[in-house]
Structure 1
Amino acid sequence: MANHKIAIIQFYPEPNEIESNHIRAVTFIREAAASGAQLAVLPEYHLADFVPSHDPAIRQQCANWKKYLDAYCALAKECNICVVPGSFAELHDDSTIVNATYFIDNNGVICGRYEKKNLWHPERPYVKGSKNDTRHTAFDTPLGKVGMVICWDLAFPEAFRELIIQGAKMIIVPAYWKYTDASEIGMKRNPKSEGVFLDAAVVSRAFENTCAVVFCNVAGPEKEGFAGLSQVALPFVGCIERFENSEEGMKIVDVDMNILEEAEGAYKIREDIATSDWHYGYNR
């Protein structure tokens, strides 16, 4: 296996500024490509296209998602870089919004698409989760077998298990995760509890699945509850790179994928899961 250079772009989605957010995201991706990155990852709802509201004018913001997806495909080909453009709020049939992410290869071809299953509570009145309509699916990319989940999906180990059973070696997690998600009760216990959650979950998923986990969160003012903390983790070594705050920026991370084979040799997690008598079927 090879080393991969991955750009995690901790990006601040300025409210109601979809076009300018896109222009800024393009600038980051161009900089990532110029730095030799093979993959650039943006956060969930990076265009700030989703606002929890039934207001038709607000919902209409989600109608132009295809324009931006096409633009990222063209940019990936132009810059010879793979792109995961965070996620889009996609308005379908003038009524249904889904939260979807894509893996675009360096030829501008979409290798994989994923719709968020485990919606965060404020999304649920407005966004349709994929639930059991589709399964978690790993897919081939220039960087090997990859899987994707979105934000709150990180809290469900079953999603990762389903992806590594299919051979995924890297799981990419665009997110819009804030300290305030802990609720008033959690914030009273520990104002930074969501940071504890994120650091523990990202590293745990890497170890328990012998995979690379690329977590890319939004940036924003900490006084407004933004956590940042975007990071990349591997088994054995844990977090190999991390934003220590919620400021906007980009880090180019060298990811040694050979560690995955070493970890699997020690833990044999994938080997055990692949056996016909694997005892965790989660059938109900």
Structure 2
Amino acid sequence: MTRIAVIQMVSSTDVNTNLQEAARLIAEAADQGAELVSLPENFALMGLHDTDKVAIREKFGAGIIQDFLATQARKYGVWLIGGTIPLEASIPNKVRASCLVINNQGQCVARYDKIHLFDVQVSADESYCESRTIEAGQQVCIVDTPFARIGLAICYDVRFPELFRCLVAQGATLISLPSAFTAMTGKAHWETLIRARAIENLSYVLAPNQGGRHANGRETYGDSLIVDPWGHILSRLPHGAGVVYADLDLNYLQTIRRNFPTLDHQKIACQQSSI
């Protein structure tokens, strides 16, 4: 079995401060034996304004945040799922919200750009329009690791089960979902959605979340979760910064898939080109 960890943060408006906090938590995870560690969405910056992330965007393959991930992975000999970082887009005033997977040698082995953008009216006083500053991705992403075949998704993606079914159709046994769920939507839907994606896809789900009040006034829900293929919550952190752990047991996963073969009973095939 492999020990896996998710990190919960309450990221600030200062990149250096956030990277220092992430480094502390990655070190803690590694010290507890974690071999795969996942950071939350926007771990390096929760800006005062949506455009703040555009100001710190990096070219893919070079930049302070990407160098940080590579250094931490090498230093502790862990695989890192790098939450999201703002990478250059094809439009000058936008970014790609990109999740990078870094192996234990510090090499980037996968990149997923968030497909579904959070353009919603949460309440009369709270609304979001990610498409103003984020350019949507178009490609589903799977990565092979020594531990599992991992499917990548980000936050709002969780509301689109067809994406997850495409990941599983390509062999995913573990799905990573770095998030920054709002307090209101998190209270209503977070646990239900995470457990549903695990159950219907008979997969482990890692769901690191932001979890507290940020300088921009936004409150994120927290409750970072690790859920097994039967929907059991293996570990959770309700609020604040920290790390939670679980053991990844692929023999257990294969037993569940063999005894309860819902994936084999699927009648409507995933149309990957439609994502």
Q: Same fold by TM-score, threshold 0.5 exceeded?
A: yes
Q: Which runs of 5+ in 1 are unaligned?
A: 183-193
3-state secondary structure, aligned to 1:112:
strand
3-state secondary structure, aligned to 2:157:
helix
**Corresponding position of 2:193:** 201
Match among 31, 51, 65 for residue 68 of structure 1: 65
Q: Distance in 2 between matches of 1:125 and 1:102?
A: 22
In the alignment, structure 1 residue 31 sits paired with structure 2 residue 28: yes
| Contact kept in structure 2, 1:195 and 1:229, CA below 8 Å | no
Q: Distance in 2 between matches of 1:66 and 1:147?
A: 25
Q: Distance in 2 between matches of 1:52 and 1:154?
A: 24
Change (3 A) 1:202 1:21: same
User: 1:125 corresponds to which letter in structure 2?
Assistant: R
Between the aligned residues of both structures, percent identity stands at: 24
| Contact kept in structure 1, 2:89 and 2:135, CA below 8 Å | no
Q: Distance in 2 between matches of 1:67 and 1:75?
A: 12
Q: Which runs of 5+ in 2 are unaligned?
A: 120-128
Q: Distance in 1 between matches of 2:43 and 2:224?
A: 14
**Corresponding position of 1:190:** none
Change (3 A) 1:129 1:46: same
**Corresponding position of 1:4:** 2
User: 2:63 corresponds to which letter in structure 1?
Assistant: K
User: 2:258 corresponds to which letter in structure 1?
Assistant: G
Structure 1 residues 47-105: Cα deviation after superposition (integer angstroms, max 9, x where no partner):
11655445xx7632224773211221122122111111211022346433110001111
**Corresponding position of 1:235:** 229
Change (3 A) 1:60 1:224: closer
**Corresponding position of 1:219:** 211
- The structure carrying a bigger helix percent of its residues is 1
TM-score, normalised to structure 2, is 0.86
Instruction: Give the greater-gyration-radius structure (CA).
Output: 1
Q: CA deviation at 1:196?
A: 3.9
3-state secondary structure, aligned to 2:132:
coil
| Contact kept in structure 2, 1:50 and 1:89, CA below 8 Å | no
Q: CA deviation at 1:18?
A: 0.6
Structure 1 residues 10-54: Cα deviation after superposition (integer angstroms, max 9, x where no partner):
11101x211110111111111211211001111001111655445
3-state secondary structure, aligned to 1:175:
coil
